[in-house]
Amino acid sequence: MTTALTLDRITKRFGGLAALQEVTVQIASGDITGLIGPNGAGKTTLFSIIAGKTRPTVGRVLCFGHDVTGWSAHAVCRLGVCTTHQVVRPFGDLTVLENVRVGASFGASGRLGGRTAEEEAGEILTFVGLAHRRDSLASALTLAQRKRLEIARALATRPAVLLLDEVLAGLTPAEIQQAVELVRQIRARGITIVMIEHVMRAVMDLSDRVLVLNYGRLIADGSPAVVANSPQVIEAYLGEKISES
Amino acid sequence: MRSSLRLELVAALAVGLLLAAVPMLIPGNITLLNLGILTFLYVAQGVAWNILGGFAGYVSFGYAAFFGLGAYTTALLWLAGWSPVLTYPIGGLVAAAFSLLVGAPTLRLVGPYFSIATIGVGEAMRILMLNLDKITGGASGLNLPTVVPSKTWFYFVALICAATSYAVAAWIRTSRFGLGLTALRLDLEAAESLGVRTTLFKNLAHIVSAALVGACGGVYATYLQYVHPDTVFSFTLSISLVLIALIGGLGTVWGPVLGAVVFFVVQDYLQTSYPTFHLLVYGLLLLVIILFEPGGMAGLAGRLVARRRGASAGPPAADPAPHAEHERAPMPRADAERPGTERTT
């Protein structure tokens, strides 16, 4: 198994607050890795650092052997690591198809021209099940559809690694089911997935491996079953949430 | 969408040819030629300004700097014995180089911060040029050679400027580059994370539009045979370009064309009838546009066309709004399901 992502002693401080401390992880290519932890644990900050939106205070990020620490977000994306946003950010004034065309025209797919990019965008919309809305304005979509659009746009960049930041949050159980299915299909395309998620059942179902962050530290790392039974995790986080739902 | 684009290009070509025929159809009308030359130069600049201001959303109040640099480059080279026509592209290049120098730091700013920075750059250039009197003639300006081509010649050159700007803007609008500009205007961070080189694109848009405006400055200098820092670097000129794009329709290709025509006709009329009054009228015009039709004339026209089509062809086919409403209908049900499962994070 090759390594897709390597995080080497990532530390991020915002003033006196240490959002991440010495996080070292290797993500195997082809896996679905769940990243969980209570609010404020540093999950999204970790994604921002991988995606090149934030620089770590200390530490290195390696993608497929390239040291990408300090690269800008567009360069990381073109290397094949694409992030979806926790709060969806569709280009509201553009149609669904145009939104996806942005990803297809730029991104790791390189310089796709007008026609090719449009065809590619069309195929991806069919894949994520948004083909029927291709000519609607992105601002007219429902939340579930916007989340799909966010994923479609990211897929259009032809990523090797996809970072999904809470794509299930706010969805109905039926919608969650469909989204989980979609994530499986994406993995079947050979794309490595790291997902931040609060919907525990989905994470435990989907993930090959689960990482748990708490107060910026990695407190558990292993298969879903191992992590779910780790006393440290139960104490920090899971115990509370499981009894709640 | 592609067919409507083709239609637009055909229409533009037809208008261009018609305008090119004007000197032949109505020979010897100096007033008309003069009106044409100045209007075309405004069209060229308004369309060029819109590449950065409208497509990329970076509203600059400093374009007089590019116009002035183009005008002075042409003026100085002309005085040094160059043929004016050769100097226009060079004026454009000088303006483009300066735009890179200005854009590299200022385009990192967003929204009003960028706009304010460009005011500073524009005014600084005017004052600098006013004081470099060894080169620019300072407060007395520079008189240029009086041997100039005919007004008809200038009419065609100005028309070519306008057509070039239009062609460049139309190409950008449909290109991958234009898509990137739109994406970064709508959401800089999202565009960046989808692989758009936002900094590069912003600077490219700035350079292209500055070059076009610089070339116009050169044409203007040869046409008037006189350059003065207060006219070619004037803040009023910078504002005019913003107004033209706003009146016509920000971010559209042909909006600024209409905007420039309206702007120039209004200016011509007002400045002769009420010389002190015209700024007030622009202020009011701007208020009305921002309040009632932010899409400018292009937005208004689009709305009227949509309404007419809606009335003649029946609502579902032409007007996307009711269609979208219809598709959105199942949503309340989904919403009703949601509260039970909603997670408060």
Asked if pLDDT for residue A33 goes beyond 90, the answer is: yes
Inter-chain residue contact B192 with A154, CB threshold 8 Å: no
More confident residue, B268 or B229: B229
CATH number at residue A203: 3.40.50.300
Per-residue pLDDT, A50 = 94
Compute the Cα dihedral for B218, B270, B296, B11 and give only its sign. Answer: negative
Q: Are residues A75 and A166 in the same domain?
A: yes
Inter-chain residue contact A98 with B334, CB threshold 8 Å: no
With cut-offs at 50, 70 and 90, classify the pLDDT of residue B145: confident
Structure tokens at B300: 């208004």
Which residue do the tokens 């899971």 mark?
A238
Cα dist. B196→A108, A138, B141 in Å? 10, 19, 44
Q: Are residues A168 and A217 in the same domain?
A: yes
The CATH class, in words, for B2-294 is mainly alpha
Q: Are residues A173 and A64 in the same domain?
A: yes
Q: Does B108 touch chain A (CB under 8 A)?
A: no
Per-residue pLDDT, B124 = 95
Chain A residue with CA closest to B319: the answer is A136
Length of chain A as a residue count: 245
Inter-chain residue contact A91 with B187, CB threshold 8 Å: yes
Structure tokens at B307: 């309404």
How far apart are the C-alpha atoms of A64 and B111, rounded to whole Å?
Answer: 37
Inter-chain residue contact B183 with A157, CB threshold 8 Å: no
**Of B99, B18, B30, B54, whose CA–CA distance to B243 is shortest?**
B54
ipTM over 0.90 threshold = no
Compute the Cα dihedral for B111, B114, B115, B116 and give only its sign. Answer: positive
Chain A residues near residue B334 by CB distance under 8 angstroms: 142, 144, 172, 175
Rounded to an integer, the average pLDDT of B33-37 is: 92
Inter-chain residue contact A94 with B182, CB threshold 8 Å: yes
Inter-chain residue contact A72 with B191, CB threshold 8 Å: no
Indicate whether A85 belongs to any domain. Answer: no
Domains: count for chain A: 2
Asked if pLDDT for residue B327 goes beyond 50, the answer is: no
More confident residue, B23 or B210: B210
Q: Does B196 touch chain A (CB under 8 A)?
A: yes
Among A158, A187, A205, identify where a domain stops.
A158
Task: Give me the amino acid identity at B212.
Answer: L
Q: Does A30 touch chain B (CB under 8 A)?
A: no
**Of A68, A34, A64, A27, whose CA–CA distance to A49 is shortest?**
A68
Strand partners, A195: A34, A164
Q: Are residues A63 and A107 in the same domain?
A: no
Task: Give me the amino acid identity at A98.
Answer: E
Q: What is the DSSP string of B73-98?
A: HHHHHHHTT--HHHHHHHHHHHHHHH
Asked if pLDDT for residue B147 goes beyond 80, the answer is: no
How far apart are the C-alpha atoms of B184 and B196, rounded to whole Å?
Answer: 8
Encode pLDDT of A167-178 as tens digits: 998 889 999 999
Q: Does B324 touch chain A (CB under 8 A)?
A: yes
- Tell me the domain boundaries of chain B: 2-294
With cut-offs at 50, 70 and 90, classify the pLDDT of residue A20: very high
Q: Are residues A95 and A201 in the same domain?
A: no
- For testing the chain B interface, which of A44, A50, A53, A74 should be mutated: the one with the most B CBs within 10 Å? A74
Query: Rounded to the nearest 5 degrees, what angle is found at the Cα of B110, between the Cα atoms of B105 and B111?
Result: 135
Q: Of the spans B25-34, B268-277, B316-325, which averages the highest pLDDT? A: B25-34
**Of B39, B50, B106, whose CA–CA distance to B243 is shortest?**
B50
Residue A1 CB partners (closer than 8 Å, separation 6+): A28, A29, A30
For chain B, strand residue ranges (E) read 142-143, 226-227
Indicate whether A86 belongs to any domain. Answer: no
Cα dist. B16→A25, B7, B162, B220 in Å? 63, 14, 9, 20
Torsion angle defined by CA atoms of residues A8, A13, A14 and A18, in that order, rounded to the nearest 10 degrees: 110
**Closest Cβ–Cβ partner in A140, A153, A199 for B194:** A153
How far apart are the C-alpha atoms of B215 and B90, rounded to whole Å?
Answer: 8
What backbone torsions phi and psi does residue A19 show, to the nearest 5 degrees?
-75, -35
Mean pLDDT computed over every residue of chain B: 85
Please give, rounded to a whole number of angstroms, the shortest distance from the CA of A23 to a CA of chain B: 23
| Count of beta carbons in the 10 Å neighbourhood of residue A231 | 9
**Of B249, B286, B239, B215, whose CA–CA distance to B70 is shortest?**
B215
* DSSP conformation class of B20: H
Among A158, A184, A210, identify where a domain stops.
A158
How far apart are the C-alpha atoms of A176 and A182, rounded to whole Å?
Answer: 10
Q: Are residues A148 and A223 in the same domain?
A: no
Least confident segment among B26-35, B175-184, B313-322: B313-322
Indicate whether A57 belongs to any domain. Answer: yes
Asked if pLDDT for residue B344 goes beyond 60, the answer is: no
How far apart are the C-alpha atoms of A199 and A166, rounded to whole Å?
Answer: 9
Inter-chain residue contact A101 with B331, CB threshold 8 Å: no
Chain A residue with CA closest to B326: the answer is A140
Per-residue pLDDT, B79 = 92
Among A118, A138, A158, identify where a domain stops.
A158
Q: Does B327 touch chain A (CB under 8 A)?
A: yes
Inter-chain residue contact A113 with B176, CB threshold 8 Å: yes
Q: Are residues A99 and A199 in the same domain?
A: no
Contact (CB, 8 A) for B46 and B245: yes
Residues of chain A with pLDDT > 90, as a percent, come to 70
Mean pLDDT computed over every residue of chain A: 89
Inter-chain residue contact A157 with B187, CB threshold 8 Å: no
What backbone torsions phi and psi does residue B109 show, to the nearest 5 degrees?
-80, 155
Please give, rounded to a whole number of angstroms, the shortest distance from the CA of A217 to a CA of chain B: 20
List own/partner pairs for A236-244 with CB under 8 A and 24 or more apart.
A236/A37, A236/A38, A236/A212, A237/A36, A237/A37, A237/A38, A237/A212, A238/A200, A241/A200, A242/A200
Contact (CB, 8 A) for A25 and A221: yes
Which residue do the tokens 């290397």 mark?
A79
Q: Give the domain range for residue A223.
A: 3-80+161-244
Chain A residues near residue B2 by CB distance under 8 angstroms: none
With cut-offs at 50, 70 and 90, classify the pLDDT of residue B282: confident
Q: How many helices (DSSP H) and strands (DSSP E) are in chain A?
A: 10, 10
Q: Are residues A193 and A233 in the same domain?
A: yes
Burial class of A196 by CB neighbour count within 10 A (0 to 12, 13 to 18, 19+)? buried
- For testing the chain A interface, which of B5, B175, B194 should be mutated: the one with the most A CBs within 10 Å? B194
How far apart are the C-alpha atoms of A102 and A86, rounded to whole Å?
Answer: 19
Least confident segment among A49-58, B24-33, B130-139, B267-276: B267-276
Asked if pLDDT for residue A57 goes beyond 80, the answer is: yes
Encode pLDDT of A87-143 as tens digits: 889 999 999 999 999 999 998 766 666 678 888 899 999 999 999 999 999 999 999
Inter-chain residue contact A82 with B194, CB threshold 8 Å: yes
Q: Are residues A191 and A226 in the same domain?
A: yes
Asked if pLDDT for residue B173 goes beyond 50, the answer is: yes
Rounded to an integer, the average pLDDT of A195-200 is: 90
Rounded to an integer, the average pLDDT of B145-152 is: 84
Q: Are residues A56 and A14 in the same domain?
A: yes
Task: Calculate helix-pair angle for A143-156, A114-128, nearest 10 degrees.
Answer: 130
Rounded to an integer, the average pLDDT of B248-263 is: 90
Encode pLDDT of B64-92 as tens digits: 999 999 999 999 999 998 998 899 999 99
List own/partner pairs for B321-328 with CB under 8 A and 24 or more apart.
B324/A136, B324/A137, B324/A140, B327/A133, B327/A136, B327/A140, B328/A140, B328/A142
Indicate whether A128 belongs to any domain. Answer: yes
How far apart are the C-alpha atoms of B11 and A93, rounded to whole Å?
Answer: 26
Q: Are residues A123 and A240 in the same domain?
A: no
Cα dist. A45→A40, A54, A85, A147 in Å? 9, 8, 12, 20
Chain A residue with CA closest to B174: the answer is A114
